[in-house]
Amino acid sequence: MTNPQKAKGSAWERAIVTALQTAGWPFAERRLAGSSKDRGDIAGVPGVVIEAKNTATRKLAEWIDEADLERANDGAWLGVVWHKRVGRASAADGYVTMTGAQFLALLGQALDIQPTLPAEDGEAA
């Protein structure tokens, strides 16, 4: 018997892969689960770790911490969480969440500049 939650997650991962491939990332693919050092759910975008989430409950802080650990495991420069928007099937309608530091790094990469990033203090606000 198929686990309905696992099936939802797998469908969302496939939607993300399709969106990436359509946008010009032909090597995007789902990662196989089971590695002792998780490196995210989606591979094929060099330097980027994508953690996919399809749940009704939002746990952004927990998800960001997970993506950051996976980014470190992969040696990637960017780690994001791509989560499903309730009531929308398309990955293009989903949300992509990252820390402010990761966003600044993304902007720097897009503009080909090396921004001076503020230190992440790790303290709760």
Residue 103 lies in a domain: yes
Residue 8 lies in a domain: yes
d(CA 18, CA 22): 6
Task: Report how many domains make up the chain.
Answer: 1
Q: pLDDT tens digits for 16-25?
A: 999 999 999 9
DSSP secondary structure letters along 41-98: SEE-STTEEEEEE--SS--HHHHHHHHHHHHHHHT-SEEEEEEPPTT---GGGSEEE-
Assign 97 a pLDDT band (cuts: 50, 70, 90): very high
Instruction: Write down the pTM of the prediction.
Output: 0.84
CATH code at position 67: 3.40.1350
Residue 122 lies in a domain: no
Q: Provide the Cα torsion 112, 91, 47, 99; round to 10°.
A: 70
83 close to 53: Cβ distance less than 8 angstroms:
yes
Q: Which of 16, 18, 3 is nearest to 83 (CA)?
A: 16
Q: pLDDT tens digits for 33-65?
A: 766 788 999 999 999 999 999 998 999 999 999
Residue 125 lies in a domain: no
Owning domain of residue 49: 4-111
Per the model's pLDDT, the better-predicted residue between 105 and 124 turns out to be 105
Please name the residue that has the structure tokens 């992509």.
Answer: 96
